[in-house]
Amino acid sequence: MKKQELKEFLDAKVTEYNHPRFIESDPIQIPHQFSKKEDIEIAGFLTATISWGNRKSIITNAKKMMALLDHAPFDFVSNHSSSDLENLRSFVHRTFNEDDLIQFIKSLNHIYKNHGGLEAVFSKHSESFSTQSAIHHFKNYFFEINHLTRTQKHVSDPFKNSAAKRINMFLRWMVRDDNNGVDFGVWKSLSPAQLSCPLDVHSGNVARSLGILKRKQNDAKALEELDKALRALDKDDPVKYDFALFGLGVFEGFSKI
């Protein structure tokens, strides 16, 4: 398939899947419960963190998480007491357990109290062409307070060759303003042009079938390769093609043209 044909095919799939009906079956529905910027970003970050495995289970457990935070995530992060944290001990999603959630609340409190919030931290170290360095530095900030070593595995690091799928998805949610009511666009200090595709088994397999990804592992090197290909199709909003790749893989079982 020639480049122009590929672009037209993927652009059509973006139009199909970058639509409000996408929200109904996607974890992005959780931050859509909120209107305040800080609530949206905290709900989005926590939901993205547990976004692996069965999507229905992700959504169910993210709803449980928001209920435990009294449906006011920013207020909970900012003003929780020790007893409030103890009330979180009923939570678990796969390997992300009650101790991890409590650590995340403490680290988020630190980010907002001492570093100006999530947007400020990610913006501080982003490069004009990438947010991967920002993700690495974010992890350092997140765990610079006393923390459980086990919890570190729940924040990926591109500098350790991770594709950082969940954080890249979170950044897409926060930065892209798609005018369709799916992604939020509440972060104005970053540009969609800086974003990377949330690379997972679905998007990776479809990208390989389309010939825009050669590397077999879904790691940071594969993400760099995929980013280059997607930026060649749309340098201003390359990550919009996440909708096409994910939709083709999950909803259409796409394998080849």
Q: Domain coordinates of the chain in residue numbers?
A: 3-250
Assigned token pair, 206: 């479809």
Q: Which residues, 6+ apart, have CB-to-CB distance to 158 below 8 Å? A: 132, 133, 135, 136, 164, 220, 223
pLDDT at 1 over 90: no
What is the Cα–Cα distance from 85 to 68, expressed in whole angstroms? 9
Q: Residue 198, SS3?
A: coil
Q: What H or E segment, with its residue span, contains residue 92?
A: strand 92-93
Mean pLDDT across 80-108 = 97
What is the Cα–Cα distance from 227 to 232, expressed in whole angstroms? 9
**What are the phi and psi torsion angles at 182 (to 5°)?**
-95, -70
Assigned token pair, 111: 């980010």
pLDDT digits (tens, 9 = 90+) for 148-170: 999 999 999 999 999 999 999 99
Assigned token pair, 39: 């609530």
> What percent of the chain is modeled with pLDDT above 70?
99
Mean pLDDT across 180-186 = 96
pLDDT at 257 over 70: no
Mean pLDDT across 38-55 = 96
